[in-house]
Chains A and B, each alone.
Chain A
Amino acid sequence: MKVHEMIQPLALVACSGQQGLDREVSGGYTSDLLSDVMGHAREGQVWITIQAHRNVIAIASLKEIAAVILVRGRRPDEETASASDQEGIPVFSTPLDAFEASGILHGLLNAATTPGEG
């Protein structure tokens, strides 16, 4: 599944880093603790979080995260958006909460990996 394929099902607003919309999504990780993401997220995953500051992009870049989804209507501040543009890592905003967003993404990924069941 590509990053842009999450936009409609997750009600995403693309905020920045739009050159990365065609990146491949391998999974998802939901956490607001940065060291948890640093220690456990994997390359190509989508990171779902409420944290919207600059360090989120630093971590996303180091971990080669496919995209970041900010939940409950959070938006990246100017610094975060500009870092996301520089790194080409898309940042989205969704009105959904982390539980709802994770559930939908999980369903999308399952449908993408088990053809015929979707």
Chain B
Amino acid sequence: MEFHYHIEGGDFSRAGSASSEIKKILKQLNVDPRVVKRVVVALYEAEVNVVAHAREGEMKVALGPGVIEATISDKGPGIPDIALAMQEGYSTASPRVREMGFGAGMGLPNIKKNCDRLDIESVVNAGTTVKMTTFFTG
């Protein structure tokens, strides 16, 4: 099973709607609530990163036996130094975004904590692809 959602850059009024749809689907499919909680945190952070930094993006979630694989790819500025971006507290968010309570430099660390495998590929001035994998039993 595979689900696709479009994410519009800069549109904070809709931020979280793709993650919310995925959450509903996973609950309907009776995925363990603890797994759903982790996946939702990681998805939301990745979705907000697209809204806050990129022009547009796509969230693709594939559900297989015992595995959820989510790929969030965007067209945007890219990340010049991924290791630096992974550090808690590091952020390049705009003052406007920070005033809303985003941009605390906790997004990527939250993603890492809430999935089992994280791969980030980025090309400066082109875009970023974040792939997160979560394994579960039952």
* CB-defined contacts of A43 to chain B, threshold 8 Å: 37
Contact call A58/B106, Cβ cutoff below 8 A: no
Contact call B107/A35, Cβ cutoff below 8 A: yes
Q: How far is the CA of A41 from the CA of B110 in the complex (A)?
A: 12
Cβ contact of A55, chosen from B23, B41, B100, B113, cutoff 8 A: B100
* CB-defined contacts of A79 to chain B, threshold 8 Å: 13
Contact call B13/A62, Cβ cutoff below 8 A: no
Contact call B13/A38, Cβ cutoff below 8 A: no
* CB-defined contacts of B106 to chain A, threshold 8 Å: 33, 35-36, 38-39
A11-55 near B? 1/0 per residue, CB < 8 Å: 000000000000000000000111110110001000001010111
Interface extent on A, as a size class?
A: 10 to 19
Query: Interface-forming stretch among B14-22, B57-65, B124-132?
Result: B14-22
B72 adjacent to chain A (CB < 8 Å): no
Cβ contact of B110, chosen from A35, A53, A54, A55, cutoff 8 A: A35
Contact call B20/A62, Cβ cutoff below 8 A: yes
Residues of A contacting B: mostly: helix
Could you tell me how many residues of chain B have their Cβ less than 8 Å away from some Cβ of chain A? 24
B40 adjacent to chain A (CB < 8 Å): yes
* CB-defined contacts of B100 to chain A, threshold 8 Å: 34, 51, 53, 55
A60 shortest CB reach to chain B, Å: 10
Contact call A35/B16, Cβ cutoff below 8 A: no
A96 adjacent to chain B (CB < 8 Å): no
Cβ contact of B23, chosen from A32, A39, A51, A62, cutoff 8 A: A62
Interface residues of A (CB under 8 A from B): 32-36, 38-39, 43, 49, 51, 53-55, 58-59, 61-62, 79
